[in-house]
Structure 1
Amino acid sequence: MAGQQLDSKSEQTKALVLETALRMFRSKGFAKTTMRAIATEAGVSLGSAYYYFASKDELVLELYRESVAEQRAAASKALDGVSGLSDRLKVALRAGVDALTPYHGFGGTFISSALPPQSATNPFGEASSQAREDAVGIFSEVIDGAKVPQFLRAELPELLWLAYMGVVLFWVYDRSENQRRTRTLIDGAAPLIAKLIAFSRLPVVKPLVEEALALKAKVRS
C-alpha cells in the first residue's frame, strides 16, 4: 500500500512538472523558460524536476508523445464507421492539428525538440523513434479501413505521416484564427492525396511510384 501511494505521488509530481512547463512555455516562450523556473512555479525542488526530466527538450518530447496519444485516441474513435481513404485521412489530419493546438504558441520549437535528428549521440533517440512509430501507426489505422494499392500498402503509413508533417510545418506558421488556413489545407489535400494514391496503380504510373519507393529505401539505408 505504501509503495502504491509513493508511486501515485510520484506520478502526480511528474504530471505537475509537465503541466507547469507547458503553461510557462506558452506564456513566456520556450527560450525564456528555465528548468529552475519550472520547478519554482510547480513548487518542487530543482532536483525533483531533473529527476523526472533531464532537460527542457525531454519535457517537450514527453508533451509530444502525449499529443500523439491524444491524436491516436481521437482518430481511432472518429474513424469508426468512416470509409474511403480521403475521409479517413481527413479525420487523422484534423485529429493531429487538434492535438497540437495547445502548443501552437511555440510550435516551431515544439516540433524541432520533439523530433530531433536521429543519431548515435542523440540522448533521446530511442524515445523520439518510438514517438515517431506511434505517429506512423495512426496512418496504419487510416489505411486499414480503406482500399489502397497492395504494392503500396507497406510503405503508405510512413508516406502519409510525412505528408502530415508537411501539414504540421504549415500549421507552425499559420497565424489565422484557430489555424483556419491549416484546416482548409487539410480539407483540400486529403482528397488530392487519395486521388494520387488511386492513380498509382495505373500501369503508366506504377513504375514511377516503385522507382520513388526504391529511392526512398536507398536514401534511408
Structure 2
Amino acid sequence: MPEPAARSPKAEQTRRTIVDAAMGLFRRDGYDRTTMRAIAREAGVSVGNAYYYFGSKEHLVQAFYDTLQAEHAAAAERAMAGERSFPVRLRAVLESWLEVAAPNHEFAGQFFRNAADPSSPLSPFSAESLPAREASIAIHRSCVEGSDLKLAPALREELPGLLWLLQMGLVLFWVYDASPGQVRSHALVEHAVPIVDRMARLSRLPVVRGVVDDLVGLLAALRST
C-alpha cells in the first residue's frame, strides 16, 4: 500500500471511505461477521482496491486506531494547554481519551475479544500496533515534560510508558463499564490520578528511591529479554 507521503488527495479520500465503511459495518454486523467483500461493496470500490489499501480487516482496525490516536492527541493537547499541574494534565489526558472513544463504546468489546489474543496484530503490544502505541506514549511524555513534576531522570524516562500501561488498564475497565455514560470509568480517573501523583512525588524521598531504582532496573531487564 502507498506510504502516507505518496498518497494523492483522491487516494487519501478512498482510504478514508473504506475505513468509514468498515467501521459502519463493524458496528452493525459485528467484526467477525464483516468481510472485506462487504466492506468494499459498502465503500463503493472493488475488492481488489480495498485490499490494495488494506491487506486485511486487522489493517483496517489499525487505521481506525491511528485515527482515534490522532484525535486523542489533539484533544489532550487542547485540554493540557496552559496547565503545569501534573495531576491536572494527567486527568486531561485520560479524560480526553474517554471522550474521544465514547462513540465507539457499543462495539468496543468486539475489538477487545481479538485484541486480547497475544498473537493478534490488534493486541496493543503487537508489532503492528507499534505506531499507535508510540503515539500514545508520546502523549504521556508531553504530559510529564510540560508539568511541574520533579523526578529522578531515570524515572522521568520510564514514566510515560508506565502511564500508558495505566491507560491500558483504563481501556479494559471502560470496555466492561456498563454504567450510563461510563460514569464509573470517569470516577476511576478521578480517584486514580491523585494516587499516581502522590506516588510519583514520593519517589524522590530517600526511603523510596531504592525501590524506584529497582523498578527502573526491572523495566530495563524486561526490555532486554
Q: TM-score, normalised by structure 1?
A: 0.89
**CA positional deviation for 1:214:** 0.8
Any residues of structure 2 matched to 1:8-157 within 5 Å, and which? 8-110=9-111, 112=115, 114-115=122-123, 117-118=125-126, 125=127, 127-146=128-147, 147-151=149-153, 152-157=155-160
Aligned residue for 1:122? none
SS in structure 2 opposite 1:141?
helix
Report the Cα distance in structure 2 between the residues aligned to 1:185 and 1:153, rounded to whole angstroms: 24
Checking the alignment, whether the CA contact within 8 Å between 1:68 and 1:99 is kept in structure 2 is: no
Specify every segment of 5 or more residues in structure 2 that has no aligned partner in the other structure, as ranges: 1-6, 116-120
CA separation in 2, counterparts of 1:97 and 1:137?
18
CA RMSD of aligned residues (A): 1.6
Q: Which residues of structure 1 form unaligned runs of 5+? A: 1-5, 119-124
Identical pairs, percent: 42
The residue aligned with 1:165 is 168
SS in structure 2 of the partner of residue 179 of structure 1: helix
Distance 1:196 1:117 in 2: 25
Please say if residues 174 and 182 of structure 1, whose CA atoms lie closer than 8 Å, have aligned partners that are also in contact: yes
Shift of 1:47: 0.8
Partners of 2:124 and 2:75 in 1: how far apart? 25
Q: What SS does the aligned partner of 1:154 have?
A: helix
Number of paired residues? 209
- Higher RCO, 1 vs 2 (CA within 8 Å, ≥6 residues apart): 1
1:150 maps to amino acid = A
Normalised to the residue count of structure 2, the TM-score between the two structures is: 0.87
The residue type paired with residue 200 of structure 1 is S
Q: Give the Cα separation in 2 of the matches to 1:44 and 1:198.
A: 54
CA–CA distance in structure 1, aligned partners of residues 221 and 66 of structure 2? 29
Q: Which deviations, in whole Å up to 9, do the C-alpha atoms of 1:103-158 show, x marking residues without a partner?
A: 3233244351543544xxxxxx3x52122111100001101122231331111111
What residue in structure 1 maps to residue 221 of structure 2? 218
What's the CA shift for 1:9? 2.1
